[in-house]
């Protein structure tokens, strides 16, 4: 008799848990829902969920997802030790933040949550001509560089 869980459908074999764990942890670290992963990777979301259940993830997708996850693990927040402020770049304004949101694939709500700020307060500050502080700006630039370095598989 086969045990039926919520993860595997009846008649399916238990897949490689490593694929499901990799996809799940990457989504948490990167901050994407499954739909965004599907859009960004070019793979159908049903195919991705099949890999989560059964395994069989293609190597280009695995390498791309692992690389993006590594970027977000290395720079988890603006206050991480690995985020070194400095250089001779001005802090990010409204349009630069919007560009980075598009590159990373984050909504305004998710960005505000990661910055520890209410989204309305963040929007008002940027719309009034304000900028992010240097640490936040550098963090977003590092994440943007990582996403540009690893385009879709």
pLDDT along the chain (153 residues), means of 10: 44 62 94 94 94 91 95 94 83 95 95 94 94 93 95 86
45, 34 in Cβ contact below 8 A?
A: yes
Dihedral of CA atoms 94, 73, 138, 102 in degrees, nearest 10, equals -30
How many other C-beta atoms can be found within 10 angstroms of the C-beta atom of residue 113? 15
Pick from 50, 38, 48: which is nearest to 8 by CA?
50
- Residue 138's contacts (CB-CB under 8 Å, 6 or more residues apart) are 78, 83, 84, 85, 86, 87, 89
pLDDT at 48: 95
pLDDT at 55: 87
Give the span between the Cα atoms of 102 and 98, in whole angstroms: 6
Give the span between the Cα atoms of 16 and 67, in whole angstroms: 20
34, 49 in Cβ contact below 8 A?
A: yes
């Amino acid at each position: 008799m086969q045990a039926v869980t919520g993860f595997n459908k009846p008649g399916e074999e238990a897949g490689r848990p490593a694929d499901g764990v990799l996809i799940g942890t990457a989504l948490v670290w990167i901050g994407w829902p499954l739909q965004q992963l599907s859009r960004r990777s070019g793979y159908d979301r049903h195919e991705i969920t099949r890999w989560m259940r059964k395994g069989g993830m293609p190597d280009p997708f695995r390498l791309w997802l692992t690389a993006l996850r590594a970027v977000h693990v290395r720079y988890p927040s603006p206050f991480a030790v690995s985020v070194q402020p400095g250089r001779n770049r001005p802090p990010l304004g409204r349009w630069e933040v919007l560009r980075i949101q598009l590159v990373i694939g984050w909504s305004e709500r998710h960005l505000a949550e990661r910055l520890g700020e209410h989204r309305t307060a963040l929007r008002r500050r940027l719309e009034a001509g304000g900028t992010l502080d240097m640490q936040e700006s550098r963090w977003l630039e590092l994440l943007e560089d990582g996403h540009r370095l690893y385009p879709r598989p």
